[in-house]
Amino acid sequence: MKLYARLFLSHLLVICIALGAVLLISETLASAFIRHHVEQMVTLIGPDSASLRPDLERGVRRTLNSALLVSLPLALVVAALTALLSARRVVKSVELLRDGSHAIATGNYERRLPEEGRDELTDVARHFNRMAAALQQVEQGRVELISNVAHELRTPLSALRGYAEAMNDGVMTPEAVSGAILRETAAMERLAQDLSVVSRVEAGAVELHPSDFAPSALLIDAYERFLGVYEERGVSLVRLEGKTLPLVTADFERASQILANLLGNALRHTPSGGQVALGAEHRGGDVLFTVADTGSGILPEHQSRIFERFYRVDPARTRGDGSGVGLTIARGLATRMGGSLTVRSSQAGSIFTLALLAAHSH
């Protein structure tokens, strides 16, 4: 039996039970009511009216029963219409939910349900739409990820094919080709490693080893690692540090990885003769590590998206500028450590801020 029929019949059954209860209660209460008032009438009329008692009782009972019999069909019709409309409302919502879930199951993540009313069925529709929107976003991310990975792999694979054909045609010697092949395979290995880290960061599966350490230790480590590279590029790297900084609670290696990513990005976008400042200060319950460059800056429409996987401010950038997931990894690691990673930028340059919890704030 269809849901509509089951709901309608169940409503009718409830109505019939309710009507039967009304008849039973009215009959039970009416007997006492009628006897009481007949006695009052007999008392008022006098002893000679005792013979009228049966007629009075029959008349009152007949009148009450007639009123009930006349009103019951009307009540039954009204109740049946109410049950019909109620069942139709429920069945319509269930059918919409059924069709919508079928559409989602077949990959149509754009399907939405109407959100009309303020009852629980409307709440179900609203939650369904939120679920569909989340699934649509996940699907879009999956498609973009596959497309981006294919794009990133296309260049090294084309290069490898070109080197192999050159060697096969005798244009290049195996010795000359081997170095180029090693460079391309190394680039592919870095991409695979970065993708593995991104997936573990987004799944919350990155293993962390938090400890308390001095912010100066993290600054010095990053400064010494990049000073030589900056000098080769003709970019000045300066270290700024607040005088009184509390200890930081975080994973030292992961925090160092974040600063390394920020310093590498700053070096790529700062021209020769420019400057990058690496600093730290205490604000509230956090220690803020900043990397400020004097590069060309990031336009406002790009600032909210630069932490997305494979998003590039300049689509013309080559893979030599990185795999495109470094900032995604950096923000994910910062969040996992209870901190944050933000950016402010203008034509004068960009400032990336890594906020980590101070040891005394928790």
CB 335, CB 202: distance < 8 Å: no
Nearest of 280, 278, 253 to residue 263 by alpha carbon: 278
Helix (H) or strand (E) holding 283: strand 275-283
Q: 354 and 219, same structural domain?
A: yes
Q: 357 and 320, same structural domain?
A: yes
CATH of the domain at 176: 1.10.287.130
Using CA of residue 295, residue 296, residue 300, residue 301, what is the dihedral sign?
negative
pLDDT at 318: 46
**Neighbouring C-beta atoms of residue 291, cutoff 10 Å:** 24
* Token pair belonging to 96: 């919409």
pLDDT at 294: 92
* 325 φ, ψ (degrees, to nearest 5): -120, 5
Q: 355 and 227, same structural domain?
A: yes
| Residue at a domain's end among 202, 226, 250 | 202
User: Is residue 340 domain-resident?
Assistant: yes
pLDDT at 320: 47
User: Is residue 301 domain-resident?
Assistant: yes
Q: 170 and 294, same structural domain?
A: no
pLDDT at 33: 60
* Token pair belonging to 61: 């009972």
User: Is residue 319 domain-resident?
Assistant: yes
Nearest of 246, 256, 258, 327 to residue 286 by alpha carbon: 246
| Residue at a domain's end among 202, 232, 250 | 202
User: Is residue 117 domain-resident?
Assistant: no
The CA-to-CA distance between both ends of the chain, in Å, stands at 61
Rounded Cα distance, 362 and 357, in Å: 8
Strand partners, 174: none
pLDDT at 316: 46
User: Is residue 232 domain-resident?
Assistant: yes
Range(s) of the domain holding residue 271: 211-361
The pLDDT profile of the chain, 362 residues, written as one tens digit per residue, is 565 566 667 767 777 777 677 667 666 666 666 666 666 666 666 665 556 666 666 666 677 677 667 777 777 777 777 777 777 777 777 888 888 888 888 888 888 888 877 777 788 888 889 998 888 887 877 777 777 777 777 778 888 888 888 888 888 888 878 888 888 888 788 778 777 887 888 777 788 999 999 999 999 999 999 999 999 999 999 998 767 889 999 999 999 999 999 999 899 889 999 999 999 999 888 999 999 999 888 888 788 788 887 776 655 444 445 557 888 889 999 999 999 999 998 888 999 999 999 987 65
pTM above 0.75, yes or no: no
| Residue at a domain's end among 202, 237, 255 | 202
pLDDT at 38: 61
CATH of the domain at 292: 3.30.565.10
Provide the number of structural domains found in the chain. 3
User: Is residue 329 domain-resident?
Assistant: yes
